Amino acid sequence: MSKLNIIGQVNHLFIFIRMQMMYDFTDGGVLLRKYISVNLGWWHNLKNASEKLWQRFSLSVFAPLFHSLYPASRFPIKSRGPQDALIHFLYLAGAYRQRIPGTKVTVRDKLAKLLLRAEEPHSPIDKQGVYHLYNLKFLLEYAIPSVALRSLYKHTLLLSPFFVVVKISILE
Amino acid sequence: MYGREIEEGPHVIWYDNYNKMYNKQLVSMSRDVLKLCNWTGRAVRPYLGTQPVSMKVKRSRGEIVPAMPQLSELWEFTEVIDRAIIKQTASTIEDSDSQQIPTDFLDSSFYVLYGASRVPLKPDENKVPEEYKEALRHSPDTLENFHPAGLIEQNIGSNEGLARVIRKLYDEKKMGSVLGASHYVALNVDCNIFSRLMKVNASTQCVSSSVLFSSS
C-alpha cells in the first residue's frame, strides 16, 4: 500500500496548468486550431449572467418577490430559464420607475430618499437595512441594466455581463 | 434553402444537446429508454452580410493561417482582457467603498431609451433611431435563418461524446488528409461546450509554504 511522505516544503510552487482539447499539452489540438474557429454564442453570456444575478439576489429580492407575486408557489432558486429571469428583471425595471399607488413618489425616488436618510447621524435604519438598500440600488441601477438592458446591440458593451458576474463574485 | 446548400457558402455551425426536447415529446416511453436519447443537434446559419466573405483556407508564406490563435498569442489576448476587467472592476469597487453606485446605467439603458421591454430582448421599432430600424426589421437572428442539419447519435454533454462529435467534424472536413481542409469551420456553441473545448485554466502565481508529498 502506498504511503504519502512529506519530502520537503517549498516557498514557491507553480500551480498546475490545465488546457482543454484545443490547447492541450500534447498539442493534439493543432489541427483543430488550424481549421476550426470556436465561438461562444453571445446569447449564452446573457443567459449565464442572468442566472448568476437571479441566484445572487434570490434570498434578498427575488424569493420574497416571487412569493408575493405567486403565493403558495415554489421558488426556483436556479431560475426556470433565462427568459423567466429576464421577464422578472424587466418587471422590476418598469416598477422601479413607476409611482407608488396613491402617492406622487416613484420607487426610485423613495429609495434615494431612504439612502439619504440612512446616512443621517441618528438614522433609524440599521446597518442591515442600509446594506439591503445599497444592494437594491446596485441591482436596479447597475446590475439589471447591465445584464438585461444595456448589453444589446452595441458591441462595445457586450462584455458588460462579464463585469457584473465578476462584481457579483467579489460581493460573495 | 437547405443545410447542404448553406454549407457551400459562408456559414456557422451550431452544436447543442438534443435530449431535453425529445424527453418532452415522448412522455409515454419508459424512463430508461429516454436516458439513451442524449443526442447532439447540428444546425447551420448562413452569412447574411452584404460584403463578400470567403471561408477558404488562407496561406501566408506557404503556411496555413490558423483559425484560432497560437497559445502565445492567446496569453497576450487574455492579458489584455484581464487588464480591462480588473480596471473596470477596480474602478467600481473603489467607488463602492464610498457607498456610491459608480455608474447608474438605467437612464441610459435600452429599456428607457428604446423601450426594450420584451423577451427575447428587442427594442421598440418606433423608438429606435432611423439608422437601426432597417436592421431591426431584417432580424437576421430569427429562426428563419437557422437550418437544422441533422442529429448525431452522440451525447455532446459528455466528454467522450464531445470528442466523438469533433472527430466526426474533423473527418468530414478532411482535416487530417494530406492536402488538409479546404475551408475554415466556424463553430457556435454554448457555455458548457465552449468551456470543455477550449477553456484554459491556468495560473502562474506562486504559492508559499506548500508541502510536497511523495508516494512509497
Residue B125, pLDDT > 50, answer: yes
User: Which of A3, A11, A12, A40 to probe by mutation at the B interface, max B CB count within 10 Å?
Assistant: A40
A3-19 pLDDT tens trace = 444 444 444 444 444 55
Instruction: State the number of CA atoms in the 13 A half-sphere of B199 facing the CB.
Output: 9
What are the residues whose beta carbons fall under 8 Å from the beta carbon of A85, sequence distance 6 or more? Answer: A50, A51, A53, A54, A79
**Amino acid identity, residue A48?**
N
Residue B22, pLDDT > 70, answer: no
With beta carbons under 8 A apart, name residues in chain A contacting B208.
11-12
Answer for the pair A23, B71: CB distance below 8 angstroms, yes or no. yes
pLDDT band at B91 (very low <50, low <70, confident <90, very high): low
With beta carbons under 8 A apart, name residues in chain B contacting A39.
12, 186-189
B198-209 pLDDT tens trace = 765 544 443 433
Answer for the pair B137, B125: CB distance below 8 angstroms, yes or no. yes
**Cell numbers at residue A92, please?**
422590476
Q: What's the pLDDT at B207?
A: 40
A58-72 pLDDT tens trace = 888 899 988 998 898
Instruction: State the number of CA atoms in the 13 A half-sphere of B115 facing the CB.
Output: 6
Predicted-complex ipTM score = 0.72
> Could you state, in order of their start, the residue ranges of all structural domains in chain B?
1-49+140-200
Torsion angle in degrees (nearest 10) through CA of B155, B157, B158, B164: 50
Q: What's the pLDDT at B88?
A: 57
pLDDT band at B98 (very low <50, low <70, confident <90, very high): very low
With beta carbons under 8 A apart, name residues in chain A contacting B194.
38, 40, 44
With beta carbons under 8 A apart, name residues in chain A contacting B204.
14-15, 17
Is the Cβ pair A19, B196 closer than 8 Å? no
Answer for the pair A147, A89: CB distance below 8 angstroms, yes or no. yes
> Could you state, in order of their start, the residue ranges of all structural domains in chain A?
42-171
Is the Cβ pair B188, A19 closer than 8 Å? no
What is the distance between the alpha carbons of residues B144 and B26, in angstroms, rounded to a whole number?
26
